[in-house]
Each structure stands twice: as structure tokens, then as C-alpha cells.
Structure 1
Amino acid sequence: MRVYRITKARYAERLIASGGVARWNSRGQFVIYTAATRALACLENVVHLSGEGLLADFRVMVIDLPDHLQIETISPDQLPPDWFTFQNYFVCQQIGNDWLQNSRSPVLKVPSAIIPNEWNYLLNPGHPDFSQIDLIQAEPFVFDPRIKS
């Protein structure tokens, strides 16, 4: 399966995590966020960047998850009804932190907070099977100038 990550060009040559706080992890917990499609990866960036931030030099990372790789799934019915709100970040962070700390799988499939029935895939660089995940290529990516954040 292929997943996608859009990032600034200087970070696009290898699979690395910043350890910054996000929806599914607390600060200091290293997770690589990817999306099921280029379009969802684009939207994830748009909601997190200002309009001027979209003018930077970006790449879309095409990442291969081998079919035999274990993927744990968190479905929306396992979450509170308003899990996607900012006030409930802590609920998602607890789930993600637990997944990371217990190293249950190299990949965690989580629902998109932006589009219902779409999925993001979190990668655990500390999992022993992470080495089986391959960065296939990093393609140039330009946000359409009509996109406003």
C-alpha cells in the first residue's frame, strides 16, 4: 500500500519524526504522519499552515507499506463522538502515546479529523518492523494558489 506525506523539501529525503505535539501524540513522542491519498495529505497541510506557509518549497513523499506489515486500526466508533475537536486532543494523544510506548505495530490507521471516512496512517520509527517501510520517492509539490488557509 502507498501512503503520502507532504513536507518541506529539506525534510523529504528520509523518514524522520520531529517529536512535536500533534493530534495523536504528545511532545517528545516520535510519529510520522501520512495520509491515504495525496489529496488528504494536501488538506492536512492546509489546515495546519498559514496561507504564506503554503508558498514554501514542498515535496510529496511516496511511502510504501508492505502488504504483510501489521497495521492497527482505530475506528471512529472507538472514540468519543466529538473526538476530532481541539478540546479532545488529549483523548487521541493518549491512544497514540499508548500505541507508541507499547510498540504494538509499526503502523496505526486513524480516522481523518478533516474528512469523514478518510484515513491517516501513523508510522512508528521506533518499531522493529519500521525498517520494512520504504520511501519510494519525493516528488515536487506546489499548493494551488487558489487554496487559502
Structure 2
Amino acid sequence: MFVYRITKVAYADRLVASGGAARWNERGQFVIYTAATRALACLENVVHRSGEGLLENFRVMVIEIPDELPIDAIAIDTLPTDWFDFGQYDTCQQIGGEWLRTGQSVILKVPSAIISNEYNYLLNPIHHDFSRITLHHTEPFAFDPRIKD
């Protein structure tokens, strides 16, 4: 399976996590966020960058996950109805934190808060299977200039 991450050129040559807080992890928990499609990866950037800095140099990271690796998944029907709301970050961070603490899988499939029925894949870089996940290649990427910077 291939997943995608759009990042600035300076960070596109390796699979690393910043440890910054996000929807599914607290600050200090290292998680690499990827998307099921290039389009979803683009939207994630637009939403999280709030339209700022989209004219810089970016790359699409095409990441290969071996099919035999187990994937844990968060079923949307197990989440609060407003899970996607900013006010529910704590709930989502607890779920992601528990996944990291148990270490039962290197991949967690989570629903996209942007597009219904789309998914992001979180990668745990300290899991023993992480070395089996590879950066297959990178591709040039430019945000459409109609997206306001």
C-alpha cells in the first residue's frame, strides 16, 4: 500500500516526526501523519497551514507500507458525533496516545476530519516494524495558486 505526505523540501528526504501536538497525538508523542491519497494530503496541508506558506517548495512523499503489516483502525462509530471538532482534540489525542502506548501496531488508520469516508494513516516511528516502511520516492508538488496564500 502507498500513502502520501506533502511536506517542505527540507523534510522530504526522510521519515521523521516533529513531536508537535496534532489531532491524534499530544506534544512529545512522535507520529508521522500520512494520507490515503495525494488529494487528501493536499487538503490536510491547506487546512493546517491556514493558507499560509503554500508558495514555498514542497514535495509529495510516496511511502510504501508492506501489505503484511497489521493496521489498527479507529471506527468512526466509536467516536463522539462531533469528534472532528477542535473541542474534541483531547478525546482524539487520548485514543492516539493509547495506540502509541500499547505499541500493538506500527500503523493506525483514522478517519479524516476534512472529508467523510476518507482516511489518514498514522505511523509510529519507534515501533519495531517501522523499519519495514520505506520512503519509496518523492515527487515535486506545487499548490494551485488559486488556493489563497
TM-score, normalised with respect to structure 1 = 0.98
Summarize the alignment of residues 55-94 of structure 1 with structure 2, pairs less than 5 Å apart. 55-94=55-94
Aligned residues between the structures? 149
Counterpart of 1:111?
111
* Displacement of 1:136: 0.4
* Displacement of 1:51: 2.8
Deviation larger for 28-37 or 45-54: 45-54
Counterpart of 1:46?
46
* Displacement of 1:16: 0.2
Post-superposition, which runs of at least 4 consecutive aligned residues in structure 1 deviate over 6 A? none
TM-score, normalised with respect to structure 2 = 0.98
Distance 1:120 1:51 in 2: 20
Distance 1:105 1:39 in 2: 26
Question: What letter corresponds to residue 41 of structure 1 in structure 2?
Answer: A
The alignment yields a C-alpha RMSD, in angstroms, of 0.9
Distance 2:74 2:39 in 1: 21
* Displacement of 1:75: 1.3
Counterpart of 1:128?
128
Unmatched 5+ stretches in structure 2: none
Distance 1:143 1:115 in 2: 19
Counterpart of 1:140?
140
Unmatched 5+ stretches in structure 1: none
